[in-house]
Amino acid sequence: MNMDNRNTQEIKGKVKRFVIENFLMGDASSMLKDGESFLETGTIDSTGVLEIVTFLEEEFHIKIDDKELIPENLDSIDNLTRYVAGKSNAA
């Protein structure tokens, strides 16, 4: 496994744990799929998006600009993972 892939899996694991603990009340059995939209499934509302942004900035030491607060970056586990990996690699 190359470094990028390992880093991506680590990011995905942390993001998934945060979402399960904070929005699914620790219930991993509700099994939100990694590609499913948080907003469409009602998993996260606009306040939840702010919680995710705070978590990402603190956990991964990145800065998220207002213009980056779009569904393509933040609306699923897969999108969050890809976004954070891209920001981390650019840093």
21-57 pLDDT per residue, tens: 999 888 877 778 999 999 999 999 889 999 999 999 9
Q: Taking 50 as the threshold, does the pLDDT of residue 1 lie above it?
A: no
DSSP assignment of 10-61, as one string? HHHHHHHHHHHHHHSTT-GGG---TTS-TTTTTS--HHHHHHHHHHHHHHH-
**Whether this model's pTM surpasses 0.85:** yes
pLDDT at 3: 52
pLDDT at 91: 65
Domain edges within the chain: 3-22+34-90
Give residue 23's Cα distance to chain centre. Answer: 12
Do residues 77 and 13 lie in contact, with contact meaning Cβ atoms separated by under 8 Å? Answer: no
Q: In the CATH scheme, what is the homologous superfamily, with its name and number, of domain 3-22+34-90?
A: ACP-like (1.10.1200.10)
